[in-house]
Amino acid sequence: MRILVVASYSPSLINFREQLLRSLVSKSHQVWAAAPFPSEQLWVESKLSEIGVVPLSWNLARQALNPLLDIQSFAQLVFFYLRFRPELVLAYTVKPVIYSGLLCRTCTLLRPRSRFRFLALITGLGYAFTDGQRTTKRRFLHKVLSRLFKIALSASDVVAFQNPDDQAEFEHMSLVPNSAKLIRVWGSGVDLTLFPHRQLPKRPVFLMLSRLLADKGVREYVNAARIIKKQFPFSVFRLAGMLDPNPAAISREELEEWIAEGVIEYLGDLHSVQTALAACRFYVLPSYREGTPRSVLEAMATGRPILTTDAPGCRETVIDGVNGFLVPPRDSEALANAMLRLIEQPESETQRMAQASLELARERFDVHKVNAQLLEAMGA
């Protein structure tokens, strides 16, 4: 088949989809990958070419709300379709799913025989669908995106969800057509060979890997760190991730205040996270909502007890009390109490949780098992 993969962030094609792309190429499919390729991400183009995937530079503003830019992005996607005539399109994240769905719907209406198969992978719903302070802007975006999802997915053949909460919300809002096949996959999966098991360090080092957004629970993590450091000043709280143009972004000034205060160690935007994971004892992600958080899967694969929220996408990664703890979102005190439990529990209990994380990663989240589901759904 001729297959077009559409993404909004080019490194995700390697970090999250490399094994899937390799599988498609190994089966003799022609594969193109459309994504933005800014100068600092040109290494992705080289890697894709090495795999056998043709990179297509797509002018997409992931977070911008500019109708003119959106029309230009859609027009370029139409150009890719007319030039390469894909028989199947796989799109993931919000804008690629919506644009690809609109393209598929247009083909269905104008030239039914030229229609391609469309697989929409819902990897998380982001800012507009996250509960909390529903500002006027967030409510407006929720309404607009819900309508666009409904139109875009009306032409879908398969809609894959990464957690049951997203699927339930889409079904409740009637955003998916009865004709589409619905499947559930365990996130993007994790390559266990790239994230091998590592022994736990003795020092209580906590780590959070995330884009620096309020909705990821970054402020709750910092507030909980303040609480714990008063009782255990030797504890370490590390944070890694990039500043983001998202409306819920943490500002550079706020980040620099935390660093100056000494409450966190900021590791920057890491290209490779294995070293940081190996150096931590506990992994934390207090997010308000996820698809299925890839960073948690990587921490599980390395054998780390997990502390995350009882929120969509996050709760699927932890069996409370088995491989870590679940806490309510937006609750710094509850987060700190759970951190305290991890610090004070016996070594044997921490080791048991670490082993449980590893076993869960192997049984449920192995990337090859996840990709097998997607390949079957694609007919590839």
Residues 4, 54: Cα–Cα separation, whole Å: 9
Q: Write phi, then psi, for 211 (nearest 5 degrees).
A: -60, 145
The more confidently predicted of residues 224 and 291 is 224
- Which of the listed CATH numbers 3.40.50.12280, 3.20.20.60, 3.40.50.2300, 3.40.50.2000 matches domain 2-189+366-378? 3.40.50.2000
Which are the contacts of 90, defined by CB distance < 8 A and separation ≥ 6?
Answer: 3, 4, 5, 6, 119, 121, 374, 378
Of 40, 80, 84, 35, give the one whose Cα is nearest residue 59: 35
Q: What is the pTM of this model?
A: 0.89
In angstroms, rounded to a whole number, what is the distance separating the alpha carbons of residues 244 and 279?
Answer: 25
Q: Tens of pLDDT along 79-127?
A: 999 999 999 999 999 999 999 999 998 887 777 676 789 999 999 776 6
Please state whether 109 falls in left (phi above 0), alpha (psi between -120 and 50) or beta.
alpha
The fold of 205-364 is Rossmann fold (3.40.50)
State how beta strands 54-57 and 2-6 pair: unpaired
> Residue 10: its pLDDT value, please?
93
Q: What is the DSSP letter of 330?
A: T
Check residues 111 and 192 and name the one with the higher pLDDT.
Answer: 192
Mean pLDDT of 36-61: 92
Instruction: Give the contacts of 219 (CB within 8 A, at least 6 positions apart).
Output: 250, 332
- Per-chain mean pLDDT for the chain: 92
CB 170 within 8 A of CB 176: yes
Confidence class for position 224, pLDDT limits 50, 70, 90: very high
Q: Do domains 2-189+366-378 and 205-364 have the same CATH topology?
A: yes
Give domain limits for the chain: 2-189+366-378, 205-364
